[in-house]
Amino acid sequence: MTELIIPAVVSCVIAFFTVYLTTPPLIKFLQKRNCTVKDMNKKGDVMIPRPGGPSIIAGIIASEVVLYAFLQMNEILAVMITSFLAFLIGYVDDRKVMGGWFKPIALAIAATPIIFLGAYDSDLAFPLFGEVQIPVLYLVIIIFMILITGNTVNSIDVLNGIASGFMTIASFSLSIALFIMQNFEMAIISLPLGLVSLAFYKYHKIPSKIFPGDSGALTLGAMYGTIAIVGQVEIIAAVALLPAVINSFLFLASMKRIVEHRQIKGKPVEHTEDFKLKATDDQTAPITLVRVILASGSLSEKQIGFRIFKLSMFSGILAIITAVLMGVSL
Amino acid sequence: MIGLFGFLFTMWILILIGGGIVVTILGPISTTGYGDLNWIISSTIKAVIAISLVVLWIFILLEIKNWIFKKKIKS
């Protein structure tokens, strides 16, 4: 355990400061090249640079390379390669409008390095009841895990600071769970994700100076999913991600099909005169987590963000309880 | 907000129960007498049951969602 302290500290410092220091020049670069989008929840034409994915992936790769130099584990390679592929997929989607089929198929392909590197164990562990061996089915789980975590994190990136703040809470919960389960190496491999998200949150929080874009959100989601697989904490990871899962679930249950956000005509929320957000009664609009939060009255963007973070902290606590229950057998 | 916390907690309980079903029912399934095909047959059976469980889980969640959020969304 003590020999892991130096790699852990060095990788955490590199993860945080790479994003913290590279994001301001990236903002300037994107502004110069006119790579900006309108912030729909601000008065007037407030243009925000996008995507912040390059600084996020830089932080992940730099910190994981350092960890690989110390630990030489295939799991680290799987995290790096899958996250980088997810970044490329997101970057393509940021630059060009791709069809609805593109992200699911491409993310499924991005998951394959985990299989080829053999960085997984096909036993699926559940709290209280133990493990189940599902060698063939587990390969399907690997593919779906990256696809689901990538898209789920992307789908919650709806307001200033939500995606990065949510991922900070979820990934630190996952790291704590890994420490509780005494999987120290994987806990250390997972720590950069929380620190990268935290550093990016500094610029993404309200009022946003940069948006992560698909490249940023898919990178965070894919890295989270990969850690869940290679760290054998699939169920715990799913629990920590539940608020985002609820968002996707409500969306799909109301739309009854997989659809890109830009294809939706109905508006789930609208602005009040004082530019707060309120839920609409548009029957064609999807039901989302934000719409449900606003069902009891209008709220500011900041207030909605804090409510989502409260939900995230609650699911993080449930994830940590789940980790404790992993050691309990009925 | 209480409804959302309740929904989140219900999902967690469903995950725990689902895990119990998977380990106690799905795990022990094995077939014999088909030679090299045994693992394919048992994996297929496991996959079919797992997918059925997921569908059932989604159906239960939809019912719970309607129960918790119906009044809220309508208002």
Q: Is the pLDDT of residue A276 over 60?
A: yes
SS3 A329: strand
Whole-number pLDDT of residue A192:
97
- Structure token digits, residue B68: 């918790």
Q: How far is B14 from chain A (nearest CA, A)?
A: 11
- Structure token digits, residue A252: 């799909």
C-beta atoms of A238 and B15 within 8 A: yes
C-beta atoms of A253 and B27 within 8 A: no
- The residue range of the domain holding B43 is 2-74
**Which helix (H) or strand (E) element contains residue B3?**
helix B2-21
Whole-number pLDDT of residue A282:
82
Whole-angstrom distance, CA of residue A178 vs CA of residue A231: 8
Q: How far is B53 from chain A (nearest CA, A)?
A: 14
Q: Which residues of A touch B62 (CB under 8 A)?
A: 253
SS3 A150: helix
Q: What is the mean pLDDT of residues A88-106?
A: 88
**Inter-CA distances, A199 with A8, A301, B60, Å:** 17, 21, 39
A221 close to A149: Cβ distance less than 8 angstroms: yes
Whole-angstrom distance, CA of residue B47 vs CA of residue A167: 31
Give me Rg for the CA atoms of chain B: 18
- Structure token digits, residue A243: 């608020």
Angle A127-A129-A134 from CA coordinates, rounded to 5°: 95
Whole-number pLDDT of residue A30:
96
Whole-number pLDDT of residue A260:
65
Whole-angstrom distance, CA of residue A188 vs CA of residue A179: 9
Q: Does B24 touch chain A (CB under 8 A)?
A: yes
**Which helix (H) or strand (E) element contains residue A116?**
helix A112-116
**Inter-CA distances, A210 with A1, A12, A29, A129, Å:** 38, 22, 11, 44
A158 close to A290: Cβ distance less than 8 angstroms: yes
C-beta atoms of A292 and B69 within 8 A: yes
Dihedral sign, Cα of residue A296, residue A301, residue A306, residue A311:
positive
Q: Is the pLDDT of residue A278 over 60?
A: yes
Whole-angstrom distance, CA of residue A94 vs CA of residue A50: 8
- DSSP letters of A266-323? S-SEEE-TTS-EEE---TTSPP-HHHHHGGGS-B-HHHHHHHHHHHHHHHHHHHHHHH
Whole-angstrom distance, CA of residue B19 vs CA of residue A17: 40
C-beta atoms of B1 and A293 within 8 A: yes
At residue A132, φ and ψ (nearest 5 deg) are -130, 140
Task: Give me the percent of chain A exceeding a pLDDT of 90.
Answer: 72
Q: What share of residues in chain B are helix, strand, coil (percent, to 5)?
A: 85, 0, 15
Q: Does A148 touch chain B (CB under 8 A)?
A: no
Q: Is the pTM of this model over 0.80?
A: yes
The overall average pLDDT reported for chain A is 92
Confidence of residue A303 (pLDDT cuts 50, 70, 90): very high
Helix axes A184-204, A5-32, angle to 10 degrees: 30
pLDDT digits (tens, 9 = 90+) for A194-225: 999 999 999 999 999 999 999 999 999 999 99
Return the closest-CA partner of residue A31 out of A46, A17, A43: A46
Q: How far is B10 from chain A (nearest CA, A)?
A: 11
Q: Which residues of B touch A134 (CB under 8 A)?
A: 26, 43, 46, 50
According to DSSP, residue A209 is labeled S
Q: What is the mean pLDDT of residues A63-69?
A: 96
pLDDT digits (tens, 9 = 90+) for A144-187: 999 999 999 999 998 999 999 999 999 999 999 999 999 999 99
A48 close to A39: Cβ distance less than 8 angstroms: yes
Whole-angstrom distance, CA of residue A82 vs CA of residue A255: 30
**Inter-CA distances, A196 with A185, A221, A267, B61, Å:** 18, 12, 32, 33
ipTM entry = 0.88
Mean pLDDT by groups of 10 residues along chain B of 75 residues: 86 92 85 82 84 88 78 54
Whole-number pLDDT of residue B72:
56
Other Cβ atoms less than 10 A from the Cβ of A226: the count is: 32
Whole-number pLDDT of residue A77:
97
A37 close to A213: Cβ distance less than 8 angstroms: no
A230 close to A80: Cβ distance less than 8 angstroms: no
All residues at 6 or more sequence positions from B16 whose CB lies less than 8 Å from its CB, including other chains: A126, A127, A128, A322, A325
Q: Is the pLDDT of residue A107 over 80?
A: yes
pLDDT digits (tens, 9 = 90+) for A11-36: 999 999 999 999 999 999 999 999 99
Q: Is the peptide bond before A54 cis (omega within 30 degrees of 0)?
A: no
List residues bridging with A100 in a β-sheet: none
A205 close to A228: Cβ distance less than 8 angstroms: no
User: How many domains does one find in chain B?
Assistant: 1
C-beta atoms of B8 and A249 within 8 A: no
Other Cβ atoms less than 10 A from the Cβ of B73: the count is: 18
Whole-number pLDDT of residue B71:
56
